[in-house]
């Protein structure tokens, strides 16, 4: 693809699909899944207490954290799965041909990998520093319960995400 086209589809900070591009890919995938009656899952992820990283360590540190999480998602999820960034500290994953018990296991795998992540940072005085203890909350919605319309799936995943946040964070909640 030409560079101008790629940059319209990718989020500059993380290299992931941006929300508009992800949306388009997700709708296409859901149409295919619906006609084949394949189950599909949507994971909505939000980094816990991300504002503290930006406030305490600066937004360059915040950007390093976002890039590290994006890399982790890309290397811990199959190539055919759709990973996107919805802006801020929110990410989204669509898993084709995945039922709810698999989706929950995959979400738990991602949650554990984020909790184990160590992000190398450089402080303002140039000294090396590692951020540990980052966590993520994840809401999961499946076509088995919510059908193949993307807005319905995202709304359900968002409610589940809110529930995960409300129950103490660093959690996976099924819609
Ligand atoms: P598992 O890790 O317990 O995964 C069980 C099933 O969940 C997989 O069955 C697959 O249907 C689904 N699944 C797990 N992770 C992903 C993912 O990132 N994306 C998607 N779309 N689906 C996922 P499957 O394919 O029959 O694999 C059976 C077992 O084989 C897996 O059990 C795992 O132990 C191993 N395996 C398969 N592919 C890989 C891989 O790329 N890396 C690793 N480390 N193990 C793999
Ligand atoms: P990939 O399919 O793109 O998967 C990328 C990474 O997602 C894997 O890296 C693994 O961390 C995670 N992953 C994907 N599927 C599963 C799964 O079912 N269970 C678990 N626990 N993790 C999963 P990894 O393991 O380093 O594998 C790199 C690549 O090697 C994979 O890329 C895939 O192309 C291939 N591969 C590894 N194991 C298997 C396998 O059991 N069957 C097949 N068909 N391919 C495999």
Domains, the chain, with CATH or none: 3-174 (3.30.70.270)
User: By alpha-carbon position, which residue is closest to atom 12 of ligand 1?
Assistant: 102
Q: What is the ipTM of this complex?
A: 0.94
The per-residue pLDDT for 4 is 67
The enclosing H or E element of 54 equals helix 50-57
pLDDT tens track for 98-143: 999 999 999 999 999 999 999 988 766 777 788 888 999 999 999 9
Q: What is the atom index within ligand 1 of the atom nearest the CA of 76?
A: 18
List, chain by chain if needed, residues with CB within 6 Å of any ligand 1 atom: 77-78, 81, 95, 98, 102, 105-106
Mutate to test the pocket of ligand 1, among 106, 107, 112 (most ligand atoms within 8 A of CB): 106
Q: What tokens appear for 135 in the block?
A: 């966590």
Report the sign of the C-alpha dihedral through residues 161, 162, 165, 167, in that order. negative
Alpha-helical (H) ranges within 58-149 are: 59-76, 100-116, 143-146
The per-residue pLDDT for 126 is 73
pLDDT tens track for 17-55: 999 999 999 999 999 999 999 999 999 999 999 999 889
Q: What tokens appear for 116 in the block?
A: 């184990």
Does pLDDT of 63 surpass 80? Answer: yes
Ligand 2 pocket residue status of 108, Cβ below 6 Å: no
């Amino acid at each position: 693809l030409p560079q101008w086209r790629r940059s319209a589809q990718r989020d500059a900070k993380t290299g992931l699909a941006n929300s508009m591009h992800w949306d388009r890919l997700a709708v296409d995938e859901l149409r295919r899944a619906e006609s084949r009656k394949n189950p599909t899952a949507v994971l909505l992820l939000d980094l816990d207490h991300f504002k503290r990283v930006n406030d305490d360590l600066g937004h360059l540190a915040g950007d390093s954290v976002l890039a590290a999480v994006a890399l982790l998602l890309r290397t811990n999820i199959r190539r055919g799965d759709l990973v996107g960034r919805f802006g801020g500290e929110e990410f989204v994953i669509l898993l084709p041909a995945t039922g709810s018990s698999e989706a929950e296991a995959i979400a738990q795998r991602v949650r554990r990998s984020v909790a184990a992540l160590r992000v190398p940072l450089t402080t303002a005085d140039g000294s090396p520093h590692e951020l540990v203890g980052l966590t993520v909350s994840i809401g999961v919605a499946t076509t088995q319960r919510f059908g193949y319309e993307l807005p319905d799936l995202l709304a359900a995943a968002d409610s589940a995400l809110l529930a995960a946040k409300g129950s103490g964070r660093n959690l996976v909640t099924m819609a």
